[in-house]
Amino acid sequence: MKEKSFVVVVGGANVDICAQSYAPLIEKDSNPGFCRMALGGVGRNIAHNLALLDVDVCLLTAMGEDANADMIKMSCRELGIDLSRANRVAGGHTSTYLFINGPDGDMALAVSDMDICTAITPEYLIANRDVLEKAEAIVLDTNIPEESILWLCENCQSPVFADPVSVTKSKKLLKSLGRIHTLKPNLLEASFLSGIPIKNDADLKAAAGKLLDTGLKRVFISLGAEGVFYADEKEMGHARALPVHLKNATGAGDAFMSGLVWSYLRGADIKKTVAFATAASGIAIEGSETINPEMSAALLLARAQSLDYNSI
């Protein structure tokens, strides 16, 4: 990897409102716990992690002209993330994500208010084509419109990394799968996108093969605590998760994606890529915040070395 690689992330930037109960959640009742606000959004979270991994990042997103947008702008300035090209929508309401965790830190319920992401249009992307053409990799989340995903996949030469975000939003990827370089779905998303219900290892292999048949280069299917199933045109495998002390699982997937991108920039093969991405996810889980401020390239390398690449 060069001294400073350059990546463009296209996706959502939110203000997150997190609530976590002290005891198991009781439905339709007031649960004692704590609440806090933080910055989030899949795209912004990935950009944040990449910045901590010493990658130059430009974030193409949409925000309102409100206090929440100012919070995001200030944070990006501190992190060194280029937010100068964000679409500031007059009278718009900056995205808000509300989620409730159980006492173990795992998410139980969430509500996403991200309508402003419809302003991340092909026209907006065309206006920023110059920066997209300079990117060594482009990362997108499916909070952006389907036509914008199509435009990125059809008009950008850089490899595209896609996060499906959810089963509902992953529908936006169906027309673009063959033009995507790297896809990071969970089990439900992989089942939907491949059309194969995944119930066992044989189904995993079949689903991954079906996705690769579209022209997709690599797929990494998150299995939660069971690790990740990975596949490219040469090999498939199942990598176990590293043992970690769970504090907050919310940002694990975003960190995993940042690890995939960082590994690509280093020219890592698929087994080392899995090791780096798994290590990034583990670091995220061990932090109390969505983004663990301890994330760094040095820590990522040290954690990845604890994995036997040949056994992955």
pLDDT digit string, tens, across residues 104-115: 888 899 888 899
79: domain range? 1-120
CATH number where 89 lies: 3.40.1190.20
Asked if residue 98 belongs to a domain, the reply is yes
- 3-class DSSP state for residue 130? helix
Asked if residue 30 belongs to a domain, the reply is yes
Nearest-Å Rg of the Cα atoms of the chain is 18
Cα separation of 174 and 270, whole Å? 24
Indicate the pTM of the whole model. Answer: 0.90
Helix (H) or strand (E) holding 70: helix 67-79
Count how many domains the chain has.
Answer: 1
Asked if residue 44 belongs to a domain, the reply is yes
CB 280 within 8 A of CB 255: yes
Asked if residue 97 belongs to a domain, the reply is yes
Asked if residue 248 belongs to a domain, the reply is no
C-beta neighbour count of 71 within 10 angstroms: 17
**Residue 36 burial (CB < 10 Å; 0-12/13-18/19+)?**
exposed
Query: What pLDDT digit, counting tens, does each position of 16-51 carry?
Result: 898 999 999 999 999 999 998 889 999 999 999 999
Asked if residue 24 belongs to a domain, the reply is yes
CB 14 within 8 A of CB 44: yes
Query: What pLDDT digit, counting tens, does each position of 135-171 carry?
Result: 999 999 999 999 999 999 999 999 999 999 999 999 9
Query: What pLDDT digit, counting tens, does each position of 210-259 carry?
Result: 999 999 999 999 998 889 999 999 999 999 877 666 676 678 899 999 99
Asked if residue 239 belongs to a domain, the reply is no
Kindly tell me the sign of the dihedral angle through the C-alpha atoms of 131, 132, 137, 140. Answer: positive
Cα separation of 236 and 131, whole Å? 34
Asked if residue 71 belongs to a domain, the reply is yes
Distances from the Cα of 117 to the Cα of 57, 61, 94, 143, angstroms: 19, 7, 9, 6
